Structure 1
Amino acid sequence: MSDGTAPHASTGDARVDTVLARLGELPGAPVAAHVAVFEDVHARLQELLDGEPAQPPVPGPRP
């Protein structure tokens, strides 16, 4: 990209990608504005996680 930022890779979940797209607002924004963007992204991602059913743990190798 011409502004020196790289686009984030797709997560495979359009809802998450939409939230993460807000991070694209950071370049060129005053540093004082970054906190509000980070807090919004965090809150929106947390809402998505809270709405997902709990997944059973993936079993790892047994010792």
Structure 2
Amino acid sequence: MTRPRAATGAVKALQDALCLERVLRAGPDLSTAREQYADERSASGAQSVELGRRMGRAPVEEVPDWPAMG
């Protein structure tokens, strides 16, 4: 699941839908289409999740020294 702070959910959903439509139309059966979809979209999904996690950790683990910033 992508995290809200990455702001990629809607774009990823559209990309997923387009990919799913394409593999369903091209595939000989549902099982093959499902495998092709997973092969194509899993890496993108993992990248979005990792981006969201990094963005979530940054303000907690790398808090700026606000008083020093004036």
Normalised by the size of structure 1, how large is the TM-score?
0.46
Larger radius of gyration: 2
The structure richer in helix per residue is 2
Normalised by the size of structure 2, how large is the TM-score?
0.43
